[in-house]
Structure 1
């Protein structure tokens, strides 16, 4: 199975210059915990609910004036939609991440693959659990 068959395709994104509050509201409305960050249509980072907590709220920054760019994680682990689930699992484990942004040839995000997505594939449930266990051990 290829990642493109399993990934979440209805991808929510946010622009780097938007305020953190807008990102938090989008996460709440969409019931998600992360947003790929774009600038000029290109992927430049990832913002998670943890980033908002640790890099904005905990430091007393105003979410109305703090930009997503200031709170995001600039390093984003990506993969191609044609990659296999085995490749995705190895990448998640090697890079110690729970989600991968799936990008096209121009590095534009087209989907997201999470450990939760892997766990929906019956033969992958055990593998997803093993990856999660190794992430917690590190």
Structure 2
């Protein structure tokens, strides 16, 4: 068993719930990342990805000054740091998510992306997740 803690990225970028789309996009650009987390204290309340900005905001002509959190996935799915990467990959595929917040004792301590699975995991975990994410839902 290889736990998520061994492949997760520990450097998390968070944004205020009153941050605009433009501010969050700039955070992503400045940090060379594809997601930003929204927190309420230690509780994860949302995640916004670069894809969300395009699909949920730009595609509908939303103003870049609008609240970024309004376009985020609320109460995102997460897994514990001790979860096996193969099980995590299966969950990511089933839920069609590309970024997975990782928790320890209920607190977000890292994030695992599809790229992390591909670059750092051994075995077929990345293929399992990719197949699930790439399969269209009906």
Q: TM-score range by the shorter chain?
A: 0.7 to 0.9
Q: TM-score, normalised by structure 2?
A: 0.86
User: Where do 1:10-21 residues align within 5 Å?
Assistant: 10-21=11-22
**Per the alignment, do residues 84 and 8 of structure 1 end up closer, same or farther by CA in structure 2, a change over 3 Å counting?**
same
Q: TM-score, normalised by structure 1?
A: 0.86
In 1, the alpha carbon distance for the partners of 2:130 and 2:121 equals: 16
Contact 2:95–2:133 (8 Å) recurs in 1: no
Give the equivalent residue in structure 1 for 2:56: 55
Q: Which runs of 5+ in 2 are unaligned?
A: none
Contact 2:44–2:75 (8 Å) recurs in 1: no
Secondary structure, aligned partner of 2:13: coil
Give the equivalent residue in structure 1 for 2:131: 133
Q: Which runs of 5+ in 1 are unaligned?
A: none
| CA RMSD, 1 decimal | 1.7
Secondary structure, aligned partner of 2:55: helix
Give the equivalent residue in structure 1 for 2:8: 7
In 2, the alpha carbon distance for the partners of 1:130 and 1:49 equals: 23
Contact 2:48–2:68 (8 Å) recurs in 1: yes
Contact 1:100–1:114 (8 Å) recurs in 2: yes
In 2, the alpha carbon distance for the partners of 1:131 and 1:69 equals: 26
In 1, the alpha carbon distance for the partners of 2:25 and 2:14 equals: 12
**Per the alignment, do residues 2 and 130 of structure 1 end up closer, same or farther by CA in structure 2, a change over 3 Å counting?**
closer
In 2, the alpha carbon distance for the partners of 1:123 and 1:103 equals: 21
**Per the alignment, do residues 120 and 58 of structure 1 end up closer, same or farther by CA in structure 2, a change over 3 Å counting?**
closer
**Per the alignment, do residues 122 and 101 of structure 1 end up closer, same or farther by CA in structure 2, a change over 3 Å counting?**
closer
